[in-house]
Amino acid sequence: MLYFVIVTTRCNLRCMYCGNDPSLLSEPPDLAYSVKDLRRFLEEDEDPIICFYGGEPLLALDVIEEVMDSIEARRWILQTNGLLLKRLRRRYLTMFDTILVSIDGRPEVTDYYRGRGVYEKVIENVKDIRSRGFRGDIIARMAVSGATDIYRDVVHLLELENPKFDHVHWQLDVLWDYPPYQRYTDFDSWVDNVYNPGISRLVNYWIDNMMDKGEVKGIVPFLGLMKHMLLRQKP
């Protein structure tokens, strides 16, 4: 089973769309139970998969290291904004199977949402973990909002050579504000006239790469849908 361990709700960024407002959160800022308690909780699961989450989990690096030293997991996953990856010692870095790095596409889009200079820092740090021996899956994790061109931003990340993102995934900015959609002038119009046409272009790009190059680009939502279609699985 997959377990999300929120080691801290603190963060070192203030992204435009983020709902991680301490004044609105009921969770404690730091882990409220001991690692021993976590280990006891997981004892009945022979193959736990543990994902460290936040806030920015690398702000609680000592907790991450203690958990990884104390618990045997089938897989280790990290969701991070990428700014503190250099703090992750190689011993622990190479234990991870998957690292999801928050990056929203092209430099100007990422910096617009996340802060000036964030794109370059994230790219530098992803290069660093590859150079230090990380051989697992690196997923570019986008938040898609009104300034996003889903086609251009996904293709930008997929076509990077150094660093190379193995997969790109995204979620829509529709969960983190109240009332809903307040950051959009007209959400329905944006979906119909911007987002959906971009998805159609992205589908064509994905299929063309398979047909012309024999290459399956790592677009996570498409891969999941194709698997269900080929195996005739119900969603």
Residues 6+ apart with CB under 8 A from 200: none
111-136 residue pLDDT tens: 999 999 999 999 999 999 999 999 99
C-alpha 31/C-alpha 180 separation (Å) is 30
Cα-to-chain-centroid distance, residue 210: 25
pTM of the shown model: 0.93
Give the DSSP H/E element, type plus range, for residue 4. strand 2-6
Largest Cα span, the chain? 53
| Predicted pLDDT at 26 | 65
Three-state DSSP at 168 gives: strand
11-26 residue pLDDT tens: 999 888 886 665 555 6
| Predicted pLDDT at 6 | 95
| Structural domains for the chain | 2-183 (3.20.20.70)
58-114 residue pLDDT tens: 999 999 999 999 999 999 999 999 999 999 999 999 999 999 999 999 999 999 999
Q: Among 104-108, 154-158, 186-190, 198-202, where is mean pLDDT lowest? A: 186-190
Across 172-197, average pLDDT = 86
| Predicted pLDDT at 152 | 99
Residue pair 75/102 in contact by the 8 Å Cβ criterion: no
